[in-house]
Amino acid sequence: MTDKIQDQVKEHFKFEVVHVDKNSKARAGIIKTPHGDIPTPVFMPVGTHGAIKALQPSVLEDMDTKIILSNTYHLHLSPGSDLVKKAGGLHKFMSWDRPILTDSGGFQVFSLQKHSITEEGAEFKGPKGKPIMLSPETSIGIQQNLGSDIMMAFDECIPYPATREYTKNSMDRTHRWLDRCIRTWTNPKQALFGIIQGSTYDDLRAECVEEVTARDLPGYAIGGVSVGEGPELMEKIVSYTAPLMPVDKPRYVMGVGNPEDLFMIWDYGIDMSDCIIPTKFARGGTLFTNRGKIRIKHRNYRRDFFPVEPNCECYTCKNFTRAYLKHLFDANEILGQILATAHNIAFYKSLAERAREAILENRYTEFKNEFLSNYNKD
């Protein structure tokens, strides 16, 4: 990437730390992109195929969702990034004029077992048995066709557990892949984020931070967490890695979505996160509230004429009861999944907004402790 393009990127993408809570490391900021500003901390709903499952974009707009995430690998399979580009880019294709972040396909290196990894990239066995090669060049090329505001560098999401030797070799290759991503990156209206790997090894995490941040990218993410290591190791990784990351760039932890885990990452100054948990759980009938999760299919809710969350302002809670939602799930009506998804996304958005407000007022720790004391994790 030339200095000229790097300067142009800085014209289109900016990040500012607005305030750091006086009693913790939690911080509130704002990310400025060509498609709008994103107050942080922010939780990003996942729209794998260019759509939040069971939800119209207009519902997301009505609740003022600031950014969504889409998947490079799956959009490459269908409908293909060339088609999306011809349609005017992903924003126009899915009728969404707010920011979009696209992952690189690196998570699929972890989640899809039918693949092989070489220096060139990762070769997957496609849905019809045809091999699909995803490399740093193709990943960035696809993301540039999609036209996302934030692109993620192509990496290997290292599984847990991983030996030190495997982790070191994978991490070094990811650094080489990052340089290839940078050389392929040509659109100054798209910000490229680097990803920090290193599994559970502190010194390798530190080495990766040093290598990746030396490229002076617009933002950085902690990858390779929420891959089976458990909450204690996840916190160990985040608590060690986050303080090493630049304070003037957005910090993103990938794939973290339980409410208690969000508070943990916010504790260490993380600005961005994403996860399929709120939407996936909603489709199965699990709804999030300030007092824990509600499994709406349970017989207890058959005659429960209260809203899911009494003080929630979402469309679901303002108009429908728990009894009605249970009926919808019992009757296998798609509206049940729609209303549950709308509520869960609204809950997560509200949680991040309340955390931001608490940070700005230097009462984040009080807010966190009060929420967690009332929240039943089971």
Q: Do 121 and 210 share a structural domain?
A: yes
- In this prediction the pTM is 0.96
The whole-number mean pLDDT for each consecutive block of 10 residues of the chain, a chain of 378 residues, reads 71 97 98 98 97 96 97 95 98 98 87 80 82 94 98 95 97 97 96 98 98 96 96 98 98 97 98 98 98 97 97 96 98 98 98 98 98 89
- Start-end of H helices in 70-163: 72-77, 81-86, 90-93, 106-111, 136-146
Q: Say how far apart CA 263 and CA 368 lie, in whole Å.
A: 7
For residue 4, tell me if it sits in a domain.
no
Residues 172 and 320 in one domain: no
Last residue of a domain, one of 254, 275, 296: 275
| Listed residue (182, 192, 245) closest to 10, CA to CA | 192
Q: Which residue among 252, 275, 298 closes a domain?
A: 275
Q: E strands within 204-284?
A: 219-222, 251-253, 272-275
Residues 211 and 127 in one domain: yes
Q: Say if residue 217 is in the same domain as residue 283.
A: no
Residues 189 and 217 in one domain: yes
Place of tokens 């108009």: 319
Is there a domain that residue 5 lies in?
no
61 and 162 together in one domain = yes
Same domain, residue pair 16 and 60: yes
pLDDT score recorded for residue 212: 98
Q: Are 321 and 294 in contact (CB under 8 A)?
A: no
CA angle 292-298-300, nearest 5°? 90
- Rounded Cα distance, 229 and 255, in Å: 13
Tell me, yes or no, whether 252 lies in a domain.
yes
Residue range(s) defining the domain that contains residue 59: 10-275
Residues 345 and 328 both lie in one domain: yes
Whole-number Å distance between alpha carbons of 62 and 318: 14
Tokens of 302: 């058959």
Are the CB atoms for 73 and 102 separated by under 8 Å?
no
Residue type, 222: I
- pLDDT value at position 1? 46
Is 98:66 a contact under the CB 8 Å cutoff? yes
For the annotated catalytic residues, the residue numbers are 103, 274
Does some domain include residue 247?
yes
On whether residue 376 sits in a domain, the answer given is: no
The total number of structural domains in the chain stands at 2
Residue 41: asked if its preceding bond is cis (omega within 30°), the reply is: yes
Strand arrangement, sheet containing 131-134: 115-117, 122-125, 131-134
Indicate if 302 and 158 belong to the same structural domain. no
In contact, 195 and 220? CB cutoff 8 Å: yes
Say yes or no: 255 and 282 in one domain: no
**C-alpha span between 241 and 225 (Å, rounded):** 12
Q: Which of 93, 89, 99, 94 is nearest to 69 (CA)?
A: 99
Sequence-ordered list of residues with C-beta below 8 angstroms from that of 52, at least 6 positions apart, any chain:
45, 46, 60, 68, 279, 341, 345
Residues 213 and 345 occupy one common structural domain: no
Single out the residue in 227, 247, 275 at which a domain terminates. Answer: 275
b (16+ CB within 10 A) / e for 84-96 = bbeeebbbebbeb
Can you tell me the distance from the alpha carbon of 167 to that of 161, in angstroms, rounded to the nearest whole number? 10
The answer to whether 341 and 51 are in contact (CB under 8 A) is no
Q: Are residues 202 and 287 in the same domain?
A: no
Residue 254 belongs to a domain with what CATH number?
3.20.20.105
In the structure encoding, which two tokens stand for residue 321, read together? 């009861």
Q: Which residue has the tokens 């049940």?
A: 336
Say which amino acid occupies 70: S
Burial label for 107, CB within 10 Å (0-12, 13-18, 19+), is buried
Residue 1 lies in a domain: no
The answer to whether position 106 is within a domain reads yes
